[in-house]
């Protein structure tokens, strides 16, 4: 079976982009437009996907299954995925389920995908507006980082990756804070965040123990994304969600005022879009709770990742 283990050996830096030699390609449509000279001249079958949350569903997965079938894709063939988090999530899920799993290589093209979405083997699509409600654990055999992809990235998309890097810094202070002024992170900064996530995920590949900490801010973030019909982008939602987690921790007396202020000052460095801030401020606990109840990490209780004392921990709250 093509399923592989999460390992630093799976992560590769590819400074000079190399065209795959075998398999099929799933490519972000916008990325294709920037690099048509690379993608358009190769011999492999290729399908383009529009990277939008509205397309992150089973209908899109079905279109990939049809493409795979038309190309007579075998289990021993490789699905090469070029794109950001949305495209990686969709295509990786399709690859993980087609003929019970094909070989998978990911080429993340956004900062968010390089430091988070392509790392650790989570795949998924949205269902009834619930984020990644249907998915699988299926680590890619290779994750190839090509830093030049970031040069065509709009500032708003670069910011989404900075949110995940901010989360990483709060979980482990040795990780560098991202530059919030639009500067591209260095290769070393990207790899340090990716390798940190790998180090966590390889100890807990199925998200039942320490890996849960990587969900800091995400339960609230997924609620904001769903409530806004995905008008709020994922990284912005995560940054807002970490703020909401801190607010709840203070309310529950899990942290003191000094710790709260320190966390909020760091989170205050993030360049929140005014519309997202305004939307989040209007949501009441009654608006948020139904989405939290649907979180896939829950058991019989509400499972949240919250600041507790000087740490960030998993906390269970009665539903």
pLDDT at 41: 84
Q: What angle do CA 270, 133, 11 make, to 5 degrees?
A: 60
CATH class of 216-318: mainly alpha
Return all residues near 15 (Cβ < 8 A) that are at least 6 apart.
Answer: 146, 147, 148
CATH number assigned to the domain covering 8-152: 3.40.50.1970
What's the confidence (pLDDT) of residue 228? 96
**17, 82 Cβ separation under 8 angstroms:** no
Q: How far is CA 247 from CA 256, 259, 272, in A?
A: 11, 11, 17
Q: What is the pLDDT of residue 299?
A: 67
**Domain boundaries along the sequence of the chain:** 8-152, 216-318
Per-residue pLDDT of the chain (319 residues; tens, 9 = 90+): 566 899 999 999 999 999 999 999 999 999 999 999 999 889 999 999 999 999 999 999 999 999 999 999 999 999 999 999 999 999 999 999 999 999 999 999 999 999 999 999 999 999 998 999 999 999 999 999 999 999 999 999 999 999 999 999 999 999 999 989 888 999 999 999 999 999 999 999 999 999 999 999 999 999 999 999 999 999 999 999 999 999 999 999 999 999 999 999 999 999 999 999 999 999 998 999 988 988 777 667 888 999 999 999 999 887 6
User: In this structure, are residues 216 and 171 in contact, taking their beta carbons and an 8 Å threshold?
Assistant: yes
pLDDT of residue 297: 73
The answer to whether 82 and 31 have CB atoms below 8 angstroms apart is yes
Residue 122 belongs to what H/E stretch?
A: strand 122-127
Query: Which DSSP letter does residue 129 get?
Result: T
For residue 302, the model assigns a pLDDT of 87
Q: Give the pLDDT confidence score for residue 319 in this predicted structure.
A: 62
Residue among 134, 55, 140 at smallest CA distance from 95: 140
Query: What's the pLDDT at 77?
Result: 97
DSSP calls for 155-185? HHHHHHHHHHHHHHHHH-TTSPPPPTTSPPP
Query: Would you tell me how many other CB atoms lie within 10 Å of the CB of residue 198?
Result: 22
pLDDT for res 1: 52
């Amino acid at each position: 079976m093509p399923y592989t283990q999460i390992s630093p050996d799976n992560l590769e830096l590819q400074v000079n982009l190399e065209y795959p030699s075998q398999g099929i390609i799933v490519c972000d449509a916008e990325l294709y437009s920037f690099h048509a000279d690379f993608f358009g001249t190769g011999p492999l079958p290729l399908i383009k996907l529009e990277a939008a949350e509205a397309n992150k569903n089973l209908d899109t997965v079905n279109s990939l299954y049809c493409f795979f079938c038309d190309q007579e894709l075998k289990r021993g063939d490789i699905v090469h995925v070029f794109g950001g988090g949305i495209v990686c999530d969709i295509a990786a899920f399709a690859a993980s389920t087609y003929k019970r799993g094909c070989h998978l290589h990911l080429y993340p093209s956004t900062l968010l995908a390089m430091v988070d979405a392509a790392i650790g083997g989570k795949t998924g699509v949205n269902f009834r507006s619930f984020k990644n409600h249907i998915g699988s654990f299926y680590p890619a055999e290779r994750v190839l980082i090509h830093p030049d992809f970031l040069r065509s990235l709009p500032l708003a998309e670069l910011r989404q990756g900075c949110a995940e890097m901010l989360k990483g810094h709060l979980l482990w202070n040795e990780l560098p804070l991202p530059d919030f002024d639009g500067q591209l992170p260095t290769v070393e900064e990207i790899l340090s965040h990716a390798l940190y996530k790998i180090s966590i995920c390889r100890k807990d590949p199925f998200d039942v123990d320490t890996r849960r900490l990587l969900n800091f801010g995400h339960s609230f973030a997924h609620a904001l994304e769903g409530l806004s019909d995905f008008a709020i982008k994922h990284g912005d939602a995560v940054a807002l969600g970490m703020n909401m987690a801190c607010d709840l921790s203070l309310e529950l007396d899990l942290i003191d005022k000094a710790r709260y202020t320190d966390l909020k000052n760091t989170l205050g460095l993030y360049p929140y879009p005014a519309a997202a801030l305004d939307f989040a401020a209007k949501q009441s606990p009654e608006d948020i709770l139904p989405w939290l109840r649907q979180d896939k990490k829950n058991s019989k209780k509400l499972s949240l990742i919250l600041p507790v004392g000087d740490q960030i921990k998993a906390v269970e709250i009665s539903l």
